[in-house]
Amino acid sequence: MSLLSDLSDVFGDAFASIGLDRSFGEVSVSQRPDLGQFQCNGALPAAKPAGRNPREIAQEVLEAVSGDERIAEMSLAGPGFINVILTDEFLAEALQTVAEDGRLGVPRAAEALAVVVDYGGPNVAKEMHVGHLRPAIIGESIKRILLFEGHRVAGDVHLGDWGTPMGQLIVELSERQPGLPYFDAGFTGPYPADSPVSVGDLQLMYPVASERSKQDRAFAEAARQATVELQDGRPGYRALWSHFRTVSIEAMRDVYDDLGVHFDLWNGESTVHDRIQPMIDRLVEAGLTRLSDGATVIDVADEVDTKEIPPLLLAKSDGAYLYGTSDLATIEERIEDLDARLMVYIVDVRQSLHFEQVFRAARLTGIAGPDVVLEHAGNGTVNGPDGKPFKTRDGNLLRLADLVSMVVERATQRLDENELATGYPQEERHRIAHLVGMSALKFGDLHNHRTSNYIFDVDRFTSFDGKTGPYLLYGAVRIKSILREASERGLKGGRIIAADRDGERNLMLRLARLPEVFARAVEHRAPNQLAEYAFELVADFNRFYEACHILSEPDAARQGSWLTLVGTTLRQLELVLDLLGIEIPERM
């Protein structure tokens, strides 16, 4: 139903009518707006297999299409490009359809799938840092995109909550507070309801315990033992671990809430613990595993590999499970319990080998059948001005909570500098500063390609000028106020009529492109496509608003048409920003 697919049909028919494949008829938005609005370049790839001259083919296609009343002008350029300009009447009609559509022209997926988006991935007891920013923001956006496409999507935070760090913390705490009942194997009474440690205590203990494990063999052995006992279900350890988990989740929720990131599932590695041993037994029995120095592994290398893919480790010689073991069992769990058909993992690209191994193992073992899609949609890193992962002055990774406050603080200054939201109630002003800060953070992140790294620049991100989140929020708020003013004057939107000037025509052309942009965002798991679109939409709107003086327009039909365009622009902007996880204030 999009303009591009309609046009591609028209040109596809033309190619077919001269005996060539319809797929050559694909139309795209023009790279040369001075020559046309759209272009069809199919004559070039069509020429070689047909053994013909591309310009001749293009000429014949052009003749076959000419007469189509939707097209105002066509011209031939270069070796065989066809430039296309639509009639303003047809464009207006196409826009009317978009305006009337609750989904603004974006189709639903042909088939609704059960999808799990695995993102976030923080570890219990460990302070969240700048490295957790991108998976959270990108994952939230991809989840929303897939949801809007019509799938049943669950976002799973997939906590690291079951590995040796848990044993290390248990041992560390047993030394600091040996009198706690959790360490007394003979204790029978109910364990205390309140946690003996705060999340702050845990976050301080975590690096200490981890460092001790590296230095002190006896400590490391005790931690390994405690991990095994925890996993095997020793009641005191389970009770203590459950406190660790609860207080950590509370702290994580605060940070994620601030970021506007929300999970449907707070599962973790521990969720699948009970599945792991039966899974391994089954795989061993089926002859799918091999022993390697006492460890149980699955070979996942393939003859055609160009780089070495080592086997996936399922269990160490002492029986301990690994990161990949729980990921494999989690795939099985999601298929069985949620009927998941697609799993998308938003995790640092540096873990790509891990996911390659896990996915291959899932295929080879039949845990994931051919109807299940497994994807690692990796993310790049947030870098400091030196181009290396962002560090604080003392050389530590910046805490995520500090990063959030820093951005909100800068956003507050920006409001002052620009004399925005002045004289509003304190509470509303705080809320606006928060939303401006989050738009800065999210847009600053999401307009980069998912896999690339970017330099975190709080000054640039929070600016109201340029390609930034605050620029978009300001644009959206301005559109809202235009519509408010129109409605106060009793003006209403009407049917969209043919454009009579560029500012208006270009906005219409932009608004017609959302379906195609959305499709690309879905296909490549690429929120940056939508971020770019939001920016272009606001920029086109601003030019439109400069050229079209809506409130003083004497022609009521034109004024009504413009108001519908304004309303449609706002709806699209709201939709796109929502898909990016960016919230718009009512005013500022």
By beta-carbon proximity to ligand ARG, the closer residue of 183 and 345 is 345
Judged by CB under 6 A, the chain residues 524 through 563 that form the site for ligand ARG are none
Amino acid at 196: P
Find the binder of ligand ARG among 25, 42, 54, 121 (CB under 6 A). Answer: 121
Per CB under 6 A, 158 contacts ligand ARG? yes
Q: Which residue, 346 or 438, is less far from ligand ARG as judged by CB?
A: 346
Identity of the residue, 60 or 327, whose beta carbon is nearer to ligand ARG in the bound complex: 327
Instruction: Tell me: does residue 123 bind ligand ARG (CB under 6 A).
Output: yes
- Residues 6 or more apart whose Cβ sits within 8 Å of residue 153: 115, 116, 117, 143, 146, 147, 264
The residue among 347 and 438 lying less far from ligand ARG, judged by its C-beta, is 347
Region of 49-57, 118-126, 450-458, 579-587 interacting with ligand ARG (CB under 6 A): 118-126
Give me the phi and psi of 580, to 5 degrees please. Answer: -90, -5
What residues have CB less than 8 Å from 62, skipping those under 6 apart? Answer: 74, 76, 82
Full strand arrangement of the beta sheet holding 38-40:
27-29, 38-40, 81-86, 71-77
Q: Which window, 116-124, 362-370, 447-455, 579-587, contacts ligand ARG (CB under 6 A)? A: 116-124
Cα–Cα dist 178/240, whole Å: 13
Residue 293 in 3-state DSSP?
A: coil
Q: What is the rounded distance in angstroms from the CA atom of residue 454 to the CA atom of residue 387? A: 8
C-alpha distances in Å from residue 20, one per residue of 7, 16, 35, 46: 17, 5, 26, 7
Which tokens is 48 given? 């070689």
| Closest chain position to ligand ARG (CB) | 121
Nearest C-alpha neighbor of 574 from the set 392, 439, 389 = 439
Say whether 108 sits in a helix, a strand or coil: coil
Q: By C-beta, is 54 or 160 nearer to ligand ARG?
A: 160
State which of positions 304-333 bind ligand ARG (CB under 6 A): 327
Indicate whether 160 belongs to the interface with ligand ARG (CB under 6 A).
Answer: yes
Closest approach, Cβ 346 to ligand ARG, in A, equals 8
What are the Cα distances from residue 239, in Å, to 192, 265, 381, 382? 9, 21, 36, 37
8 A C-beta contact, residue 375 and residue 115: no
**318 CB contacts (<8 Å, ≥6 apart)?**
224, 228
Closest CB 359 distance from ligand ARG, rounded Å:
11
Min dist. Cβ of residue 378 to ligand ARG (A): 11
Smallest gap, in angstroms, from Cβ of residue 160 to ligand ARG? Answer: 3
Which residues have CB under 8 Å from 200's CB, separation 6+? none
Nearer to ligand ARG by Cβ, of 42 and 165: the residue is 165
Q: Least distance from C-beta 104 to ligand ARG, angstroms?
A: 33
Which string of x and - marks every residue 341-380 that binds ligand ARG (by CB under 6 A)?
Answer: ----x-x---------------------------------
Choices 117-125, 301-309, 510-518, 566-574; region in contact with ligand ARG by CB under 6 A: 117-125
In this structure, the strands spanning 290-292 and 295-298 are antiparallel
Closest approach of Cβ 348 to ligand ARG, in Å?
7
Cβ count near 65 (within 10 Å)? 22
Smallest separation (angstroms) from ligand ARG to the CB of 209: 16
State the minimum distance, in angstroms, from the CB of residue 50 to ligand ARG: 49
**DSSP per-residue codes, 434-483:** HHHHHHHHHHHHHTS-TTS-EE--HHHHH-SSSSSHHHHHHHHHHHHHHH
In the complex with ligand ARG, which residue's Cβ is closer, 358 or 531?
358
CA angle 218, 220, 222 (to 5 degrees): 70
Least distance (Å) between residue 336 CB and ligand ARG: 17
How big is the site for ligand ARG, counted in residues (CB under 6 A)? 8
The nearer residue to ligand ARG, 321 or 474, going by C-beta atoms, is 321
Between 24 and 345, CB nearer to ligand ARG? 345
State which residue, 20 or 117, has the beta carbon closest to ligand ARG.
Answer: 117
**Nearest distance in Å: CB 533, ligand ARG:** 29
Q: Are 480 and 486 in contact (CB under 8 A)?
A: no
User: What number of H helices and E strands is found in the chain?
Assistant: 20, 13
Amino acid occupying residue 282: R
- Is 471:478 a contact under the CB 8 Å cutoff? no
Is residue 169 within 8 A of residue 247, CB to CB? The reply is no
Of residues 64 and 373, the one with the C-beta less far from ligand ARG? 373
CB of 179 to ligand ARG, least distance (A): 32
Closest CB to ligand ARG among residues 160, 167: 160
Among 118, 140, 172, 333, binds ligand ARG (CB under 6 A): 118
Nearest to 4 by CA among 33, 39, 31, 35: 39
Binding mask 240-279 for ligand ARG (x = CB under 6 A): ----------------------------------------
| Min dist. Cβ of residue 139 to ligand ARG (A) | 10
Amino acid of residue 563 = L
Q: Contact positions toward ligand ARG, by CB under 6 A?
A: 118, 121, 123, 158, 160, 327, 345, 347
